[in-house]
Structure 1
Amino acid sequence: MKRYFLLLSLLALSLGSCNKEYLNPSSASETQVLTSSDGLITVCNGLQYRYTTGGALSVLYNTVAAGGLTTRELTIINVGNIEEYNVSLGAGNLTNSNGVVRNLWGQAQLVRANADLVLLNAGNAPDAGTRSGIVAYASIFRALALGTMAQYFEQAPLTTGENAPFVPRVQLLQSAVTQLEAAATQLATTPASTDFNAKIVPGIDLPNTVQALIARYSLQAGDYDKALAAAGRVDLTKRSVFNFDDNTRNPLFEVAFGNRNVFEPTDVNLGLTGALAPEANDKRIPFYTRANPTATQNRGTGFYTVAGAPIPVYVPGEMLLIRAEAYARKNDLTNAVTELNRVRTSSSAATVTSTNLPTAPPGAGLPAYAGPLTQDAILTDILRNRYVELAFQGFRLDDSRRFSRPGPGTTGAERNRNFLPYPRVERENNSSTPTDPTI
């Protein structure tokens, strides 16, 4: 991305006052925004706004669409939605002019670039606690942006500038983790200040979210020891969510799950068959789907039921399944099954907010794992539980690759792409853009 695009984005995130509203555009200059605590907090709030809101423009919407439509988790209702329809067809039908690809890439890169600006200028916040909160918050959204890019693209830029070089996806994940670790150290030394907490959009638990994302992206990068340790540091009783209301609307409800026009879950089995099909009486399935929707109801539910429904940054079960997978890949099968069973046998009710809207799915209520004590069998059950526990949260394409499930062009293919093509707008403005992947 060229710098003038970045500056236009930054100025669009400026606030006239530092309250808990996301946006109130003003004519503040870059210097004014980045040289004061209030200005930096303003841009932090803007990071969440760009990542989560804007309906079909948002990173949240496009990661759910791309992850679900490429893996048969979701199915198209109306083929007139040509961008999403072509994602569902995959292979050569998904070109670099596709709107889902363009929005996923462009919005994530803007979040990453503006987070980098905040981190570069965080020293302009004189109070140590406020500075600590700013660094943690920007680090979280930088990691979310880089992690999203790594889930869908083989390579991406880590920097902003003319013809910014691309780096391999694992390097994106490692960079995200390194910055999160620095933020965790800073938070441990100096917790976020009361002033920061009063002015930032509420919902994100900084210390636990930092550790959860270290765990998520370390696992995806193949650093199993780091993933185990970070997931174990997350307090599973705490919740971290993106909040919405009638003005800043839940993008998945707004565009898809609140109607029958775009897409919905493929079926109550989430499009899964064979060894990956959900087990009978899994209590998470009726949380995520309607078995018998009316003619006007979308089959999907979960975290996308009303305009103001919060969307979790992570759910507790993800941390347990990260630990289970990391142990299994280290061939510590006893501990892998122990962590897996914490998810399988949980009988907890869905965790809800004070407004009675869910922030985590209910426990599966299943019996303990009774399959073969082999690495392959245990990993298959971990994947099945990831597909259910994390339904419609954008992880399925990356999971399918990581678990070496049948890919496009093979018998029993479970995904129609391995990676997305690079958007045309990037190729036209950045001569460093690599050749598009074939599939």
Structure 2
Amino acid sequence: MKKILILSTLTGLLLLQNACKQQDYLNPSTASQPQVVGTPDGLITVCNALQYRYTTGGGASVIYTSLAAGGLTTGELTVLNAGNSEELALNQGQSNVTNSNGVVRNLWTQSNLVKANADLVLANLNTVTDAGTKSGIQGYAAIFRALALGTLGQFFQTAPIAVGENVPFVDRVQLFREAVATLEAAATQVAAAPVSANFTGKIVPGIDIANTIQALIARYSLFAGDYDKALAAAAKVDLTKKSVFSFDDNSRNPVFFTAFSNVNVIAPTNATLGLPAALAPNPADKRLAVYIRPVPVSTLNLGTGFFTANNAQIPVYLPGEMLLIQAEAAARKNDLTNAVAQLNKVLTKTPAQDAFGVGAALPAYAGASTQADILTEIYRNRQLELAYQGFRLEDSRRFGRPGPTAAGSERNRNFMPYPRTETDNNTSAPTADPG
């Protein structure tokens, strides 16, 4: 991500003081905001800054905070050193997670900053005359706007879409639908004009724009309950292609740098990813070797996966996610035959058959043929196939797993509290804790 480092001074220009009040921070030695967004190259610079803000910054990045918030509240991850008080509060859950929690504040703030800067790009597309360059800029900005909106929807019950003074909050399902609409508009542009070499030569490499657009349409349509759209989009994704966030020794993989490289912050709870006994993975499941290091936690952090080095790439989505989206959407439509067929593609997939080497290599599903049983098996496989991707809190709610006050609770909160930095500056922000 060296290109991002060169261009990262832009992050001092195009920021939000909070989610709902835009303010420019102008450096006399740098270009003004109108100058930056007034040319295609300026917009590409902002696109690079979008990825920089979303992925880097160690413990402040959206990638790390979503992994930590999702994993610690559901038992997927645990705190190794109680001195990490913000993470510890998430691990303890319920009222221990306050509106001043730093992980939650960073998750909220950084997601909103990414969304606002993506809005800026999309609002200035009229400055781009070359259709292929426009496809790249629009597609890239749409991907990060969707990721930001989708992340907010996964962790907060409501959030604002617009940027301005005291803008209203909307229900999380509306956030997912807004993300999908942004992606669909980009998909139309990309289909009409392939992304140009001018764009790809100036953007940080790694993201497959066309496939990622469809993958995220599938993801957020599923979360919004639009199963037909989720099925259609997931089927369009070429599962042989990779789409990744790239890193190097300067712009570091945030999870490895912050947590999995040491035994001082957070780690997987145990060798079965913190799943309850009823959902314990088959010991023969080859995905365990992908995500869990076979050594005592006192020697090395148990976590591996895509967080093994400063320069390790992180998938934007996994092929198995697309198969499991199709399985779940079919199951929820009560098309159990197709649900099991898609589930079996995940269960029987070998590491060699997967673009990222994630494969269970297990026998096909042989459980009961009821909707409830099939959905439970899909849930189990989402936690194994998509470990440390930040989905478990969203999945736990969606699949109706036991909540904070239920017997056998599998999560210690339902949603994150709204950060005080937001409630103090936006009179439209809810003040009640929705946890």
| Bucket of the pairwise TM-score, normalised by the shorter protein | over 0.9
Which residue type is aligned with residue 392 of structure 2? R
Aligned ranges 1:10-89 → 2 under 5 Å: 27-89=30-92
Cα deviations by residue, 1:209-246 (Å, 9 ceiling, x for unpaired): 00000000000000000000000000000000000000
Cα displacement string for residues 111-137 of structure 1 (whole angstroms, at most 9, x for unaligned residues)? 000000100001111211111110000
Deviation at 1:30, TM superposition (A): 0.4
Change beyond 3 A, Cα 1:310–1:7? same
Q: Give the match for residue 415 of structure 2.
A: 419
Tell me by how many angstroms 1:296 deviates. 3.8
Deviation at residue 294 of structure 1 after TM alignment: 6.3
Task: Quote the residue 1:381 is aligned against.
Answer: 377
Query: Structure 1 residues 26 and 377, CA, compared in 2 at 3 Å: closer, same or farther?
Result: farther
| Match among 268, 288, 313 for residue 271 of structure 2 | 268
**Conservation of the 8 A alpha-carbon contact between 1:361 and 1:389:** no
Runs of 4+ in 1 over 4 A off after TM superposition: 2-6
- Residue identity matched to 1:134: I
Aligned partners of 1:2 and 1:162 also within 8 Å: no
AA partner of residue 300 (structure 2): Q
The DSSP-based 3-state class of the residue aligned with 2:99 is coil
Equivalent position of 2:260 in the other structure: 257
Matches within 5 A, 1:4-403: 5-8=22-25, 27-293=30-296, 295-349=298-352, 360-403=356-399
Q: CA deviation at 1:379?
A: 0.2
Distance 1:26 1:400, change over 3 A: farther
Task: Quote the Cα distance in structure 1 between the aligned partners of 2:357 and 2:403.
Answer: 29
SS of 1:264's partner is: strand
Shift in CA distance, 305/283, structure 1 to aligned 2, threshold 3 Å: same
Q: Residue 267 of structure 2: SS of its match in structure 1?
A: strand
- Is the Cα–Cα contact under 8 Å of residues 211 and 231 in structure 1 kept in the other structure? yes
Q: Which amino acid aligns with 1:404?
A: G
CA–CA distance in structure 1, aligned partners of residues 234 and 325 of structure 2: 7
Displacement of 1:292 in angstroms is 1.7
The CA distance in 2 between the partners of 1:175 and 1:144, in whole Å, is: 11
Secondary structure of the 1:239 match is coil
How far apart are 1:3 and its partner, in Å?
7.1
Identity of aligned residues (%): 63
C-alpha displacement of 1:249? 0.1
Count, aligned residues: 418
- SS of the equivalent of 2:159 reads strand
Change in 2 beyond 3 A, CA 1:6/1:314: farther
Offset, 1:280: 2.0
Equivalent residues of 2:177, 2:221 under 8 A apart: yes
Unmatched 5+ stretches in structure 1: 13-24, 352-358
CA distance in 2, matches of 1:7, 1:364: 49
State the Cα distance separating 1:360 from its structure 2 match: 2.4
Decide whether the 8 Å contact of 2:219 with 2:230 is kept in 1. yes
The CA deviation at 1:321 is 0.1
TM-score, normalisation: structure 2: 0.94
Distance 1:382 1:195, change over 3 A: same
TM-align CA RMSD: 1.5
Closer, same or farther: CA 180–26 of 1 in aligned 2, 3 Å: farther
Which SS does the other structure have where 2:258 is aligned? Answer: helix
Contact 2:22 2:163 in 1 (8 A): no
The residue aligned with 1:436 is: 432
**Aligned partners of 1:361 and 1:431: how far apart in 2?**
48
1:308: how far off? 0.2
In 2: Cα distance, 1:274 partner to 1:260 partner: 26
Q: Which amino acid counterpart does residue 346 of structure 2 have in structure 1?
A: V
